[in-house]
A and B are shown apart, each in its own frame.
Chain A
Amino acid sequence: MTIPNIVGAGLIVIGAGLGIGRIGGQAMEAIARQPEASGKIQTAMLIAAALIEGIGFAALFAA
C-alpha cells in the first residue's frame, strides 16, 4: 500500500461515512415525526445505506 492509496481509501471512507450518517440521521428524524411508519423507514434506510456501502467497497477495492 502506498500513500496515495491510503489517502484515497481515507477519502472514500469519509464520503461513505457522511452519506450513511446523513441517511441514518434523516431516518431518525423521520421516525421521530412519524413513529408509526418506523418499519418502512428502517427498511428504506437500510437499502439506501447498503447501496452507498456497495459503492464505497467497490471504490476501496480500486484504491
Chain B
Amino acid sequence: MHQFFRTHSCSDMRYSFLSKYLVAVFVLITGIVSAQSHEGEEVEAGAHDLKTEIKEYIDHHLLDSHDFSLFSYTTDEGEHKYIGFPLPVILWDNGLKIFSSSQLEHGEGVAEVDGNYYALYHNKIYKTDAEGTIKFGAHHEGDTHSEDAFGENLVVEDAHPSNEKPLDFSITKNVVFIALVGLLMFLMFRSVASNYKKSNMPKGLGRGLEPLVMFVRDEIAIPNIGEHKYKKYMSYLLTVFFFVWIINLLGLTPLGVNVTNNIAVTFALALITYFITTFSGNKNYWKHIFWMPGVPVPMKIILAPIELLGTFIKPFSLMIRLYANITAGHVVLMSIIGLMFIFKNWIGSPLSFVLAFTLSLLELLVAALQAYIFTMLSALYFGMATEEDHH
C-alpha cells in the first residue's frame, strides 16, 4: 500500500487528478481484497520512465507527422523499428526539394538533398549540417550550446532551435487522410447520386445515407436558413457534416489519425464558413452590424465595433470548439489507456479498461455531435446573413 503511494507521489501534474480519483477507488477495493500483493522496487524505479514514455507517446500522437506508422517497437539491440510507410517531404528552400521521409529515419537520421542537410527535431524539419547539429541560443546570447538531432545531451528543455527552418509543404499524415476522406466521400455520394437518376428509391449505400442527408436538410438547413434560400448552402453543409463526422470516426480507430485535432484543419473549415457568411451577407445583415436599427445613436457607435468583432469571434469559436473537443477526448482517452500500463495489476488495469471503453463510446457520440454542432452553427450564421428585414 505504502509503496503504491510512494510511486505516485511524484506523479506528473497532468495525470495526477485522474490517478488520484483512481487511487481513491483503488483504496476502496484493496480494503476489501487485502491479500493483493504489489510489485516491489522494480516498479518504483521503472515507473517514472514509463510515465514519461506514455506522455511522449500522447504528445507525439497529437502532432502531425511526416510518415505514417501504425506502431513502433524496440528490438533487443535497442533499435527502434517502425511499422508503416514513409510519405513525401516537400520543402521550399531556395528551390523545391522533394525527398522521401524515410531519409529522416523518424528523427534519427539526416537527409541530404543537393548538398543541403535536413533533420527532424520535435516533428519539425530544420536545416542542419552534415552531422545534424541543432543549435540553441534564442534565449541567452553567448550562451549557445548544441546537441545532435538524435535528442541526446539535451540540457535546456525550453530552448528553441536557432537553425534555419525551410518552408514545409510536405504531404503529411493529416494531408493523406484528408485526401482519402475526400476521395471516399466523392465516390460514395457520386454512386448514390447516380442511383437517384434511375429511380427515386434509394439503393444500397443510399438507404443508409438518405436519412442523414434528410436530417441535415430538414433539421439543420431549413429551420435555420429558411425554406427559400437553403438550397444554395446545402452542398457546403452536407460536405462539412460528413467530412467532420467521418474524420472524427477515423480518429477513434487504431490508425492513429487525428485530423480534427490539428488546429490548422479546423481553422480552414471555419474560414470557409466565415467567407460564405461574409459574402452572402445582405444589406440587412450589414445594417445590423454597423448601424443597428432601433437603438440610440451613442449606443450604435459602441455596438458597431462589438458587432464587427462578433463576426470574427463566431468562426473562431467554431474552430476552437471542434479542435478542443477532439483534442481533449484523445488526451483523456489515451491517459486512461496509459494508466493500464502504470497500474500493472489485476484491479487497476481492468478498471482503466472499463473506463477507456466507456469513454470510447462517449467519443463516438462526441464525433457525431461535433459534426452536428459545426454544421448547425454554420447554418445559423448563414441564416443570419441572409435574413430579410422584418421590421
Contacts and interface: CB of A to CB of B under 8 A. Distances in A.
A19 to B, nearest CB: 15
B255 interface: no
Interface in B207-237: 219, 223
A57 B325 CA distance: 8
Given A1-B14, A43-B376, 13 more contacts: A39-B219, A43-B223, A46-B369, A47-B380, A50-B373, A53-B321, A54-B318, A54-B320, A55-B317, A57-B321, A57-B325, A58-B320, A60-B324
Contact of A61 (B219, B223, B324): B324
Interface string B10-30: 000110010000000000000
A50 B377 contact: yes
In this complex, the interface size class of chain A, counting residues with CB under 8 Å from chain B, is: 10 to 19
Given A1-B14, A43-B219, A61-B324, A51 B317 contact: yes
B277 to A, nearest CB: 16
A11 interface: no
A47 B376 contact: yes
B376 A54 contact: no
Interface residues of B, number: 17
Contacts, number: 38
A6 interface: yes
Nearest to A57: B324
A57 B324 CA distance: 7
Contacts of A39: 219
Interface of B: 13-14, 17, 219, 223, 317-318, 320-321, 324-325, 369, 372-373, 376-377, 380
A54 B14 contact: no
A31 B246 CA distance: 31
A61 B320 contact: yes
11 contacts: A6-B17, A39-B219, A46-B372, A46-B373, A51-B317, A53-B321, A54-B321, A55-B317, A57-B325, A58-B320, A61-B320
A51 B324 CA distance: 13
Nearest to A1: B13
A22 B373 CA distance: 19
Main secondary structure of the interface of B (DSSP, over half): helix
Nearest to B12: A1
Interface string A13-46: 0000000000000000000000000011001001
Q: 7 closest pairs, A vs B, by CB?
A: A54-B317, A57-B324, A54-B321, A50-B373, A1-B13, A57-B320, A58-B320
A23 to B, nearest CB: 14
Contacts of B373: 46-47, 50
Nearest to A5: B13
A56 to B, nearest CB: 9
Contacts of B321: 50, 53-54, 57
Contacts of A6: 13, 17
Nearest to B14: A1
Contacts of A50: 321, 373, 376-377
Contacts of B377: 47, 50
A15 to B, nearest CB: 16
A23 B325 CA distance: 19
Contacts of B369: 46
Contacts of A40: 223
Q: Which of A47, A54, A58 has the largest count of B CB atoms less than 10 A from its CB?
A: A54
Nearest to B323: A57
Contacts of A46: 369, 372-373, 376
A7 B157 CA distance: 25
Nearest to B374: A50
Nearest to A54: B317
Contacts of B324: 57, 60-61
B372 to A, nearest CB: 8
Contacts of B17: 6
Nearest to A55: B317
Contacts of B317: 51, 54-55, 58
